[in-house]
Amino acid sequence: KRSVSDCLVLVVVLVVVLVAAWSVLQAGGSVLDAVERGCARCEAEQCDGSVGYGGSPDESGETTLDAMIMNGNTMEVGAVADLRRIKNAIGVARAVLERTDHTLLVGESASVFAENMGFVAEDLTTNKSVNIFSQWLKGNCQPNYRKNVSPDPSTSCGPYRPRSTPTPRQQQQSERTRHANQRSHDTIGMVVLDGSGHIAAGTSTNGLTHKVPGRVGDSPIAGAGAYADSSAGGAAATGDGDVMMRFLPSYLAVELMRAGADPSAACEAAISRIKRHHSQFFGAIICANTTGHYGAACNKVSGFTQFHFMVSNPETDAPVLKSVDCL
């Protein structure tokens, strides 16, 4: 029989998150408890501004949250997207998993559900997010994620209307925006394995800064932002969600591990699949199999040549920062 000595926690971001999740396992909590506690800590700490309240205001200046949690034993998923007014997005995601037959709730209806479940409605705006939004407006709404619209989004704010054909300048702006914002968004991604072989995974994010209101990236999408199957392994991704979600990298990595690939090779294959179509995409993935072995991979672009992630297991005895060179 396996014990706590076989446990593993992989996290994309901060050490405080890893400590929070690891302490849950050491106290006998479940892998779902560990994922929720770790993500909730990141939401409360606001991590690097890419998770939780007060970060990544959209075009209207509002911060909205996405989160997902997956049970690798039952294959159940709970997720929320475009969540407003509720700080504890991962908690609401777990409520979707445990208190509904659904997988994903979105927008205002997700917020109403959360309030009905006892979550407190609060303003997600902070002085920092107001300042980010104000500076963006003063800069003629640059950068933004519009294309093929009028007025020219590379020089003007909206409101926008359709334009029949894009100008060369608009095409160049779209590419510049993607490069300029490689680190303006990120995600906490977690994979947790306990001593009984149970695996769970989860994500939380406030999305892409200056995104079009209503935009949802990969984080709350099962198989894209994260995936867990206790018979094969778990994975979690971070980066350019608009690109990465089209390839379901977390699902692909888990299926490759099921077929016998080691975690590093599975991560690399998932990144390479995307790279064949989008050579300059910004992204990374962490992977762990059922035996507690782990790996990671990332796509090499200007300014991003190495990916860092956190590991905690009995061998490390404490949170350890790991890194991989990008492909």
The Cα 248–Cα 274 span in angstroms is 9
The Cα 292–Cα 311 span in angstroms is 11
317 is in an annotated binding site: no
241 is in an annotated binding site: yes
Within 10 angstroms of residue 123's Cβ, the number of other Cβ atoms is 12
Within 10 angstroms of residue 321's Cβ, the number of other Cβ atoms is 10
The answer to whether 63 touches 125, Cβ cutoff 8 Å, is yes
58 is in an annotated binding site: no
118 is in an annotated binding site: no
**CA 254 to each of CA 30, 108, 195, 292: distance values in angstroms, whole numbers, following the listed order:** 21, 33, 19, 13
The answer to whether 10 touches 311, Cβ cutoff 8 Å, is yes
* 187 part of the active site: yes
217 is in an annotated binding site: yes
38 is in an annotated binding site: no
238 is in an annotated binding site: yes
Q: Annotated catalytic residue: which of 63, 64, 177, 187?
A: 187
The Cα 284–Cα 84 span in angstroms is 27
177 is in an annotated binding site: no
Binding site for substrate, residues? Answer: 215-218, 238-241
Binding site, residues? Answer: 215-218, 238-241
Residues labelled as active-site residues? 187
